[in-house]
Amino acid sequence: MPTAPKFQKPNKKVLIALSGGIDSAVSAYLLQKAGYQLEGAFMKNWSSTAGLKYDECPWLTDRQDALRVAAFLRIPLRTLDFEKEYKKTVLNYFFEGYKAGRTPNPDVMCNKEIKFKLLYNWAIKNKFGYLATGHYAQVKQAKAGQYQLLRSTDEFKDQTYFIYNIRTEQLPRILFPVGSMKKANVRAMAKRIGLPNADKKESMGLCFVGRIRLKDFLEQKLKRKPGPIIDMAGNQIGKHEGLYYYTIGQRQGIKVGSGGPYFVARKDLAKNALLVTNNPKDKALQIKALEIHSVNWISEPKRFPAKLTGRFRHQGKLEKLTITKNSNFGYSKKTKKDTYKATFGKPQKAIASGQSLVLYDKKVCVGGGVIV
């Protein structure tokens, strides 16, 4: 159970983000048992069903579940409509990233712009002492007094990869009640106390949108643009339907007939060509160093180069790397943005531009950035 940060005038009023899922419901229960004054907030971020795998409005079902949880706990629940802002900051980022040949991570952007910006600011403006969510992460105060973001006790469920954009100054007012628990124990607790959504399955798909058919979803904004599929010898071996639909390292969905399976090695936007290889150990899939931009430091290293660990996909293995400040790969010169170079201890496979590299010093999440 989280320990309340020490303020001169402690405020035990907490806004809990209730999504309708088990994790936020158990989080609310734990906070209530700990004596916090609790109010729930459900965020309505998306209501369209266009491009979804199932013709449904997930937010309606989720809101109903959140209402049932709030009624069970006897706490007020308000619905905050952020749909306009979500479309502007998350979905536009999603479409623009794919259009530019990248593989953007909307969950990272959603946490940055919606949960820990709009919702957090709303909570503070309305005199709440804390914002709480059901994320699997931990906030702890180090001996020196500063607050740190740590990985969850449940390493498999850890969600620090998605929330590395939290600002250092926000940490004292953020609570993650289930961050020190295993998912199995959270689910068991939900059933033991009789939560009305105790049997609800994990949410899947695009953050707040649901399960999407990527191709159909993208075609709402991006026109189909067929082009050649080229092997590593320079031969055209097939045709693709649009570079938007592929990501680096992808294996499924590359229809070129015999000689496979093939892996996406590179996307040539200038020639609208998809470069593939049928060798999973091909050097074209390997990378030893990369550049990151839009870096957020929660606990910035005292000196550079800094030896850290990092992962470039959620639940990916933590890899040893060295971070160098102000890299000169070219992106920083072109955009005038501050960038960092990450050099891995050993080559890594299938790293996609647009995804995030999240950095750690042992258990502490120190920050991260977007891969160029």
Among the listed residues 26, 77, 175, 207, the single catalytic one is: 207
d(CA 25, CA 195) in angstroms, rounded, equals 8
Give, in order, the Cα–Cα distances in Å from 184 to each of 87, 187, 189, 349, 361. Answer: 34, 5, 9, 31, 27
d(CA 229, CA 274) in angstroms, rounded, equals 5
Q: What's the sign of the alpha-carbon dihedral 269, 99, 295, 339?
A: positive
Q: Is there a catalytic annotation at residue 57?
A: no
69: nearest Cα among 30, 35, 120, 95:
30
Give, in order, the Cα–Cα distances in Å from 67 to each of 52, 64, 208. Answer: 24, 5, 17
Among the listed residues 18, 41, 90, 110, the single catalytic one is: 110
d(CA 5, CA 13) in angstroms, rounded, equals 13
d(CA 291, CA 236) in angstroms, rounded, equals 31
- For the chain, count helices (H), then strands (E): 9, 17
Residues of the chain by 3-state class (helix, strand, coil), percent to 5 = 25, 30, 45
Q: Is there a catalytic annotation at residue 365?
A: no
Cβ-in-10-Å burial (0-12, 13-18, 19+) of 212 comes to middle
172: nearest Cα among 3, 351, 354, 347:
3
d(CA 308, CA 117) in angstroms, rounded, equals 27
* SS3 label, residue 275: strand
Cβ-in-10-Å burial (0-12, 13-18, 19+) of 197 comes to buried
The answer to whether residues 162 and 111 touch, using CB atoms and an 8 Å cutoff, is: yes
Tokens of 63: 């809101």
Active site residues: 110, 207
